Amino acid sequence: MSNPDPAPSPVSQTTSSPLPWILLGLVLMLVSGAVGYLSFAPEVEPPPMEIRDDDFLMEGRSVFLTRCVPCHGTSGKGNGPLSASFGGEQIGDLTDGKWKHGDKPADVLRVIRVGVPGSRMAAWGPLLDEAQIRAVAGYCYALSRQPVPESLRKAEPL
């Protein structure tokens, strides 16, 4: 007499859909991404009133907050979260109005484009487009409360 209700084979018992594991993996990735972001994201204050309506400076601010804050700090004083690990290398205070590499628009653009060789200031030319470089240069002036040179806003070569 044959068994009318054979036990399911062990294979079909253990084979479950991989979908829950894939979903779990995705959720873990999202959570670790969010935790990583929150622990490294700078504490961002709302943009200062003076620049809120200025698209050029708001663009510069967004580049600065994404790329420059780890070293230069949100306010540009040179006290970003990475700066403590620099073993005394001076980052410089962008807000004191005394710029070691010059305060003409062409000087600031050059420092941002090609960096400062031998220091941790990298060349941003390969990573940012021309409009972003000009905007973040303009934002450096805004941080130091100097007038933002009109020549930076124009697309002409500097």
- The single residue listed with the structure tokens 């594991």 is 21
DSSP 36-48: HHHHHS--PPPPP
Smallest distance from the beta carbon of 37 to ligand HEC, in angstroms?
17
Query: How far apart are the C-alpha atoms of 139 and 148, rounded to whole Å?
Result: 8
Shortest gap between Cβ of 18 and ligand HEC (angstroms)?
Answer: 41
The answer to the question of residue 25 lying near ligand HEC (CB under 6 A) is no
Q: Which of 101, 104, 145, 154 binds ligand HEC (CB under 6 A)?
A: 101
Shortest distance, position 147 Cβ to ligand HEC, whole Å: 16
Please, what is the Cα angle at 127 between 121 and 128, to 5 degrees?
A: 95
Q: Which two tokens stand for residue 92?
A: 């410089």
Interface map 111-150 toward ligand HEC (x if CB under 6 A): xx---x--xxx--x-----------x---x----------
Distance between CA 127 and CA 115 in Å, rounded?
12
Tell me the two tokens of residue 48.
């200062």
**Contact set with ligand HEC (CB under 6 A):** 63, 67-68, 70-72, 82, 89, 91-92, 94, 99-101, 108, 111-112, 116, 119-121, 124, 136, 140
